[in-house]
């Protein structure tokens, strides 16, 4: 196969594998112009970046970030079609944003899509999905030291219970943690199917037969723990704010309540003009808001998008403008 036909086949595979969510809503909030300087914190398969790049001209700039090395291959293939300069930064987006800010770079737009990309979920050997029997891995960056198997086999029952409850909001966290510890005494966990079966056996019988896989919350919790996702988000938000020039927009697409809560609280804290106690008759803090919230309520996918792409159903988009 020639290089050009290989590239076309690669792009076709990407298009089928990954459907970006809330793209029109995101573009409506960003209002990208030809000379904008945009940071895509979670490039993935480049779905949102393609929409952004279509609005950029030769004076613009797209900086793509991702910790997953597979994303860089997608970027290199797609960059050939961009009309603006573009570069890729490998690594955790919180670290990349800090580096860009410290280097004196300023952006007009920063956006984050916090969901797993289809290239991760549908690559069986990476172990993100409870729908496949695969190695219990879940690392977004394969260079990370700790896998999901390491956590399942190495943490105490109390620690596992905390992970399942805090990161997965799993109501049967204690029972599942106890079952995991009991099961690993016979043999260590190595495969996703082993964990799915253990979860099913640990929960009450009626809970095994719901509309969704009963292991989904445990898998979410492990993925968050392996990749330190919530702490990365907490670090990234103030770095993104510091990177934005006045009038710049920060937009975040989240997929579960833990992420959405962090984004919501950060935006509210930055938009609040005064933090004095209500008992004070006059403001003494002199605090000036740094952001204007553009989405009083998060935007969610319309029915047509949810039907075409069921994975979009839990997505929420929030945005704020730097003052």
The length of the chain is 323
Q: What torsion, rounded to 10 degrees, do the Cα atoms 184, 190, 191, 194 define?
A: -10
Of the residues 227, 243, 268, the one at which a domain ends = 227
If you average pLDDT over every residue of the chain, what do you get?
A: 91
Predicted structure pTM score: 0.90
Percent of the chain with pLDDT over 70: 93
pLDDT at position 159 over 70: yes
Answer yes or no: do 219 and 139 share one domain.
yes
Q: What is the pLDDT of residues 1-24, one digit of tens each?
A: 333 343 334 344 444 456 899 999
Q: What is the CATH number of the domain that holds 88?
A: 3.40.50.150
Answer yes or no: do 211 and 256 share one domain.
no
Q: What is the pLDDT of residues 208-237, one digit of tens each?
A: 887 789 999 999 999 999 999 999 999 999
In terms of residue numbers, what domain contains 19?
Answer: 3-119+229-322
Q: What is the CATH number of the domain that holds 148?
A: 1.10.150.170
Which pair of tokens denotes residue 140? 């977004």
Answer yes or no: do 188 and 264 share one domain.
no
Query: How confident is the model at residue 118, as a pLDDT?
Result: 64
Q: How many domains does the chain have?
A: 2
Answer yes or no: do 208 and 85 share one domain.
no
For 287, phi then psi, to 5°, come to -75, 135
pLDDT at position 265 over 80: yes
Answer yes or no: do 94 and 240 share one domain.
yes
């Amino acid at each position: 196969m020639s290089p050009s036909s290989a590239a076309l086949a690669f792009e076709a595979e990407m298009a089928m594998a990954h459907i970006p969510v809330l793209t029109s809503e995101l573009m409506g909030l960003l209002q990208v112009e030809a000379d904008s300087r945009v940071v895509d914190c979670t490039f993935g398969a480049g779905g949102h970046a393609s929409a952004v790049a279509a609005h950029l001209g030769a004076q613009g700039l797209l900086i793509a970030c991702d910790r997953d090395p597979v994303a860089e291959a997608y970027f290199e293939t797609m960059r050939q079609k961009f009309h603006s300069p573009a570069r890729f930064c490998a690594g955790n987006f919180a670290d990349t944003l800090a580096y860009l800010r410290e280097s004196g770079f300023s952006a007009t737009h920063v956006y984050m899509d916090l969901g797993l990309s289809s290239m991760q979920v549908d690559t069986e050997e990476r172990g993100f999905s409870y729908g496949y029997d695969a190695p219990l891995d879940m690392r977004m960056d394969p260079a990370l030291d700790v896998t999901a198997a390491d956590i399942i086999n190495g943490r105490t029952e109390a620690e596992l219970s905390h992970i399942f409850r805090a990161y997965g909001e799993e109501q049967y966290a204690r029972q599942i943690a106890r079952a995991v510890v009991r099961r690993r005494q016979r043999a260590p966990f190595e495969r996703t199917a082993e964990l799915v079966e253990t979860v099913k056996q640990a929960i009450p019988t009626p809970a095994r037969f719901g509309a969704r896989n009963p292991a989904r919350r445990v898998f979410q919790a492990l993925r968050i723990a392996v990749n330190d996702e919530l702490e990365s988000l907490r670090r990234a938000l103030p770095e993104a704010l510091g990177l934005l020039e006045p009038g710049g927009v920060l937009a975040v697409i989240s997929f579960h309540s833990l992420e959405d809560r962090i984004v919501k609280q950060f935006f509210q804290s930055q938009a609040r003009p005064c933090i004095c106690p209500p008992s004070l008759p006059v403001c003494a803090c002199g605090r000036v808001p740094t952001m204007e919230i553009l989405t009083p309520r998060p935007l969610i996918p319309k029915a047509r998008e949810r039907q075409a792409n069921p994975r979009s159903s839990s997505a929420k988009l929030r945005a704020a403008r730097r003052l």
